[in-house]
Amino acid sequence: LNASQARSISGWGRYPRLKAQSLTPDKASHIRECLDGRGELIVHALGRSYGDSALNSRVLLTRRLNHVLDFDPQRGLVECESGVSLAELIEAFLPRGWFLGTTPGTRFVSVGGAIAADVHGKNHHQAGCFSQSVLSFKLMLPSGEVITCSPLENAEIFRATCGGMGLTGVILSARLKLSPLSSAYIDERIIKTRNLEETFAYFQASHEWPYSVAWLDCLARGEDMGRSLLMLGRPARDGGLHLPRKKGLVLPVDLPRWTFNQATVGLFNYLYYHLQRAPVRKRVSHLLDYFYPLDSIGHWNKMYGRRGFTQYQFVIPKEASYQGLRSVLDRISQAGLGSFLVVLKLLGPANDNCLSFPLEGYTLALDFQIQGRLFPLLEELDRVVLDHGGRIYLAKDVRMSRQTFRQGYPRWAEFTALRERLGAGAKLASLQSKRLGV
Ligand SMILES: Cc1cc2nc3c(=O)[nH]c(=O)nc-3n(C[C@H](O)[C@H](O)[C@H](O)COP(=O)(O)OP(=O)(O)OC[C@H]3O[C@@H](n4cnc5c(N)ncnc54)[C@H](O)[C@@H]3O)c2cc1C
Q: Is 248 exposed, middle or buried (0-12, 13-18, 19+ CB in 10 A)?
A: exposed
pTM equals 0.96
Closest C-alpha residue for ligand 1 atom 5 = 105
| Per-residue pLDDT of the chain in tens (438 residues, 90 and over written 9) | 666 778 899 999 999 999 999 999 999 999 999 999 889 999 999 999 999 999 999 999 999 999 999 999 999 999 999 999 999 999 999 999 999 999 999 999 999 999 999 999 999 999 999 999 999 999 999 999 999 999 999 999 999 999 999 999 999 999 999 999 999 999 999 999 999 999 999 999 999 999 999 999 988 889 999 999 999 999 999 999 999 877 667 766 776 666 667 677 777 777 778 888 889 999 999 999 999 999 988 888 988 888 999 999 999 999 999 999 999 999 998 898 878 789 999 999 999 999 999 999 999 999 999 999 999 999 999 999 999 999 999 999 999 999 999 999 999 999 999 999 999 999 999 999 999 999
Residues within a 6 A CB radius of ligand 1 = 12, 42-49, 53-54, 62, 82, 104-106, 109-110, 112-114, 116-117, 119-121, 165-166, 170-171, 294, 395, 430
Please tell me whether the peptide bond between 16 and the residue prior to it is cis, using omega within 30 degrees of 0: yes
What pairs with residue 176 in β-bridges? Answer: 78, 134
* Spacing, Cα 336 to ligand 1 middle (Å): 30
Q: What is the phi/psi pair of residue 69, to 5°?
A: -100, -30
* Spacing, Cα 46 to ligand 1 middle (Å): 7
* Spacing, Cα 223 to ligand 1 middle (Å): 37
* Spacing, Cα 275 to ligand 1 middle (Å): 32
* Spacing, Cα 279 to ligand 1 middle (Å): 35
Closest C-alpha residue for ligand 1 atom 28 = 47
* Spacing, Cα 1 to ligand 1 middle (Å): 24
CA 93 to chain centroid: 22
What pairs with residue 188 in β-bridges? Answer: 233, 283
Per-residue model confidence (pLDDT) at position 260:
65
Q: What is the phi/psi pair of residue 40, to 5°?
A: -85, 165
Distance CA 278, CA 49 (A): 36
Per-residue model confidence (pLDDT) at position 257:
64
Taking only the tens place, the pLDDT of each residue in 287-299 is 999 999 999 888 8
Q: Which atom number of ligand 1 is nearest to the Cα of residue 343?
A: 8
Q: Between the CA of residue 6 and those of 9, 18, 44, 366, what are the distances in Å? A: 9, 9, 14, 32
